[in-house]
Amino acid sequence: MKKLSILMTAAVTGVSMMVVATTAFADKPEAESYESLCGVISYVDFVTAAQTAYTETNQFGFGLPMWATLMDHTGKVCHVYSVKGGGSPVDNGGDDAGNNAWLGSRVISAQKANTANAFSLDGLAISTGAISVAVYPGGSLYGLQHSNPVDTEIAYEGSAERYGTDGDPMEGERVGGVNVFGGGLALYDGGGVKVGAVGASGDTSCRDHTFAWRLRMALGLDNTPNSDALTLVAVPANLFEQPLCGVSDPDDIAYGAVQ
């Protein structure tokens, strides 16, 4: 497990972890030519990637339905999607989405995406759970979770019939929020430039993190400068360590990468 000081050194020296993208998004242009990530990845693209991530991680946690948010590098929400549970994931949007997936997880997924985007850099990837131990009472970042609060007017404006659909009320807005448990990951293009983030919520935070990991892989935007995987331990003591969830927890094999 790498500590933050080591990661900062790696960022300065240009050491990077190259992950090979295997999807159609691997051939997308680098971030310098992006007008916006929102214009590159369509809602349909995002739905396809989220359903793939759901299927690949449904054996973890409680196997519950999930919410996922895609955000660009400026903190603007591109898409919000609700994945209904079951053997074959299907759309779960609209005003009854909260009857099938935890309604509170809609905003939490956006909050996680905002956190990963806000605190990651081109040379340093920080997953949401990575800073968990530092915000405990007495920790060096205690109180961080209360900064940058969610803009509730944006989060809950408009009709609930649009929740988790193409046109969710958060789409195109900067909702803010900070969350410090697993489920948020920054996105990096083929040139190692941060282009945004994804956030996932709806199950244990351990499954959320793995869902986000698989979602990033499906989007082909996982060329991170360092591993931002989490180590699940009984008593976290270091950065990038998070408490065990205790319900069908994933291991490093589930990430598809070496921690």
Q: Please name each of the domains of the chain with its CATH number.
A: 4-10+35-250 (3.30.450.150)
Taking phi first (over 0 means left), then psi (-120 to 50 degrees means alpha), and beta for anything else, what does residue 10 get? alpha
Q: Tell me what pLDDT residue 144 has.
A: 87
β-strands 231-233, 184-188 pairing: unpaired
Q: Tell me what pLDDT residue 35 has.
A: 57
Q: Tell me what pLDDT residue 85 has.
A: 79
What is the C-alpha to C-alpha distance for residues 20 and 40, in angstroms, rounded to an integer? 19
Instruction: DSSP letter for 130, please.
Output: G
Q: Tell me what pLDDT residue 256 has.
A: 54
Find tokens 């240009």 and name the residue. 14
For the chain, 259 residues long, give each residue's pLDDT as a single digit of tens.
333 333 333 333 333 333 333 344 444 444 444 458 999 999 999 999 999 999 999 999 999 999 999 999 999 999 999 998 777 788 888 888 888 899 999 999 999 999 999 999 999 999 999 988 898 888 889 888 888 899 999 999 999 999 999 999 999 999 999 999 999 999 999 999 999 999 999 999 999 999 999 999 999 999 999 999 999 999 989 999 999 999 999 987 666 543 3
Report CA-CA distances (Å) from 145 to 11, 136, 211.
Answer: 25, 10, 22
As a dihedral over the C-alpha atoms of residue 207, residue 132, residue 108, residue 65, rounded to 10 degrees, the angle is 10
Q: Tell me what pLDDT residue 156 has.
A: 94
Q: Tell me what pLDDT residue 59 has.
A: 92
Contacts of 127 (CB under 8 A, 6+ apart): 116, 182, 184, 185, 186, 209, 212, 228, 229, 230, 240
Instruction: DSSP letter for 94, please.
Output: S
Helix (H, G, I), strand (E, B) or coil at 161: helix
